[in-house]
A and B are shown apart, each in its own frame.
Chain A
């Protein structure tokens, strides 16, 4: 059964017919950058059905959300459907979703715009001009990204919501023309335009073709939250059944005719290339092996079965070129960071007169490099057919991956057909871009190389060991903190210095009312490849900042929860989530009779605010987190049960890092290799996690990453209550 279905899925774009509506900025925005025409072409669908970039309406009255985001388990497709259904007055049963093609016409400027607006606030007059600019930037950057917790808050609540409201207006205009009545006499309900006076109604499907010819309104009214029928309700995710019944294809499940399999023997030293293969004949003699070749960062072995390929790859003997990284070790890297922190620094943020005040509390913090360890190892299937290069893979940026594959193969972008698949976890690993310039698609590059050089259809899959040792890692960071207390016990000064330049300096600064703050960083690169890792810079700096504020509270002799509240506006989301987490947990600053202690942390990230209380104890096997209470302000939670799932999952993701996560460097490569030495928490170690979502009227924020940053500091703060010991370096075990 598998073969027929899987091969069938390769035969072309999945898109049937349907109405595509204009660029995302339909509505109260300029429309000079309208791409409907190219999008219709890219989508190969009936022009009549394409109303805009984000949705089609088919003649049989289906509303198809064209989703530019890919799924790695975050479930945002369902949230986007909820948003569109509400703004369109649709019936849930007519809602469908499909993946946007990996085409330039579907680059997603909305996401880029969202990130930029988060970091810089443009004046209002510039906003509409900027929107078009962002689309152009999105184009230039080949951005069709899923990451930064962006799908629902940017693509959904901004672009798709406006586009859907505009579509509803166009459907009304079409109905008014068809029924020869005024637009004011019409209303929409459950997928139809209704003329109450005459009792006539027309379905959206019946109106789609003429609606697509209507001019998009320049201004649209958006629904208010009290009018929502779908947004804010717990909806079953549309991606769940396929995963439960195991008929969801992941990148690694690809199958094409005559497919061969490649495994990789990595060079083992970051940046070092293999110079020669020393036992070629021996490897080629192994059963099923057809090709052995040098590829970027290693050697590829091609065989007729993935296990045979991997077995043979493990016997490859090769010689590397010598490389500056040959002697790289954790010790040398820590030493390098320590020296950098003592050298010239860049000021990221400064308030008051921090230099004039003598510090009385000083601490050095450290977090190691971390691998992503998505459960599906990196895998891509590549073949040439009819003059095109085809790629099957699960990525967080299909358009970026397509462009990268084309570059590696020496082809034009449009000579690559990218077939996007479900990802078995992403967490930032499968993006197409890094701030460091390191190549996160190193695995895809190898897969393309193998297929092009052999001329065969080849699935290249990394072993777990290759995956762990060839990642783009969460950066290791050493940081120093200094503070002093005023007479009232509140911080009078906060100084920090840390290694590495972060994208968002807000993540590095304390979110508290402190009069004298200085945040400095050593603007130096990492010799180890680095990339985005779930929650990005918040993963390190959330730990540092929320640990050090706890140290200051302890120095002041004040309950750490009350201490934080004393440094916040009572009505701020930060204060509200802290109060809620305290209430949920029955907060106590001390051990109970079973030796269980509590710690708290609060972090703003991705437009949301979260507080966590961790209840922990010390066991013979090390620290144990028993329960975690999470209070979240993410504005309107579009699909509350999916938000809860993301926060629960993030807690376990962060707990693995806090307890066990580290990638040590030795002789230029990573020491850890598989789940025995790069441990992930299992059922027995996972805490019970409760999540409450607050309705504070805040703008919609991201939720896929926010649960990660507070966990480690809350856990370490709890353990400090137990024994007075400050855990300033991770992992704990």
Chain B
């Protein structure tokens, strides 16, 4: 059995240790906010936090996540209690199709936790998620706006 702590809840799962965390989250814990885009850690649609750090869950075996705190988009905020990033995402109307945006927001939250006032270069370096709709201008503006809000 693989024991995973997801969003503060312990799960005991009968899965292969090499199963990527993404599929355990989506299929075994029914948390489908985390998306599948490429399976090779290239696009970042599957970004979650492990002990606070952004990780591409499609290429991260569950065995490596045992004993760590896993957080998904579902734990970041809700419409009633939104995270500053989510408020900024709405203010700047960031999403288009929205499919990459849980991963994009998870990367942004991790960036601001690590670096509360990121420069443009910091944003370029940290935000390596791909958005096929091309929302980058607004992602950048929303991160800066959230950083200001959190300052």
Residues of A whose CB lies within 8 Å of any CB of B are 1-3, 6, 71-75, 236-237, 239-250, 252-253, 255, 287, 305-307, 310, 373-377, 422-427, 461, 463-465, 641-642, 645-646, 648-653, 655, 674-676, 680-684, 686, 688-689
Contacts and interface: CB of A to CB of B under 8 A. Distances in A.
B134 A237 contact: no
A150 B26 CA distance: 35
Interface string B1-44: 00000000000000110011001001100111101111110110
B110 interface: no
Nearest to A307: B23
B114 to A, nearest CB: 16
A689 B136 CA distance: 10
SS of B interface (majority):
loop
B19 A243 contact: no
B133 A425 contact: yes
Contacts of B147: none
B30 A376 contact: no
A505 to B, nearest CB: 29
A674 B38 contact: yes
Contacts of B78: 245
Contacts of B74: 246
Nearest to A676: B42
A75 B35 contact: no
19 contacts: A2-B30, A73-B96, A240-B89, A240-B93, A240-B94, A243-B101, A244-B105, A250-B35, A375-B130, A377-B37, A461-B36, A464-B37, A464-B39, A674-B38, A680-B43, A682-B129, A683-B136, A683-B140, A686-B136
B40 A675 contact: yes
Contacts of B140: 683
B128 A682 contact: yes
> What are the 10 A-B residue pairs with the smallest beta carbon separation, nearest first?
A652-B134, A243-B98, A424-B99, A246-B33, A73-B97, A73-B96, A686-B136, A649-B134, A684-B124, A307-B23
Nearest to A642: B93
Contacts of A653: 132-134
Contacts of B35: 250, 252, 375-376, 424
A3 B98 CA distance: 21
B54 interface: no
Contact of A3 (B30, B37, B39, B100): B30
A375 B93 contact: no
Contacts of A243: 95, 97-98, 101
A453 to B, nearest CB: 23
Interface in B97-145: 97-102, 105, 123-125, 127-140
B98 A239 contact: yes
B86 interface: yes
Interface of B: 15-16, 19-20, 23, 26-27, 30-33, 35-40, 42-43, 45, 73-74, 77-79, 82, 86, 89-90, 93-102, 105, 123-125, 127-140
Nearest to B101: A243
B65 to A, nearest CB: 15
Given A245-B79, A255-B30, A74 B128 contact: no
Contact of A683 (B31, B96, B133, B139): B139
Contacts of B39: 310, 463-465, 674
B64 to A, nearest CB: 15
B88 to A, nearest CB: 10
B130 A682 contact: yes
Contacts of A253: 32
Nearest to B91: A236
B45 A375 contact: yes
Contacts of B37: 375-377, 464
B137 A680 contact: no
A234 to B, nearest CB: 9
A3 B40 CA distance: 27
B89 A244 contact: yes
Nearest to A3: B30
A684 B135 CA distance: 12
A707 to B, nearest CB: 9
Contacts of B130: 375, 675, 680, 682
A675 B98 contact: no
B99 A683 contact: no
Contacts of A675: 38, 40, 42-43, 130
B30 to A, nearest CB: 4
Contacts of A1: 30
B136 A423 contact: no
A683 B105 contact: no
Contacts of B93: 236-237, 240, 641-642, 645
A463 B40 CA distance: 11
Contacts of B123: 683
B133 A246 contact: no
A424 B98 contact: yes
Given A375-B131, A424-B35, A682-B129, A75 B96 contact: yes
A75 B79 CA distance: 20
Contacts of B94: 240, 244
A655 to B, nearest CB: 8
Nearest to B139: A683
Given A305-B27, A377-B37, A684-B124, 12 more contacts: A1-B30, A3-B30, A240-B93, A240-B98, A242-B98, A243-B95, A244-B94, A425-B133, A645-B138, A649-B96, A674-B38, A683-B123
A510 B133 CA distance: 29
Contacts of A688: 137
Nearest to B28: A305
B94 to A, nearest CB: 8
B95 A240 contact: yes
A74 B62 CA distance: 36
A424 B39 CA distance: 16
B19 A374 contact: no
Nearest to B127: A683
Given A239-B98, A241-B90, A245-B82, A373 B36 contact: no
Nearest to B72: A246
Contacts of A426: 97
A645 B82 contact: no
Contacts of A681: 134, 136
Nearest to B135: A649
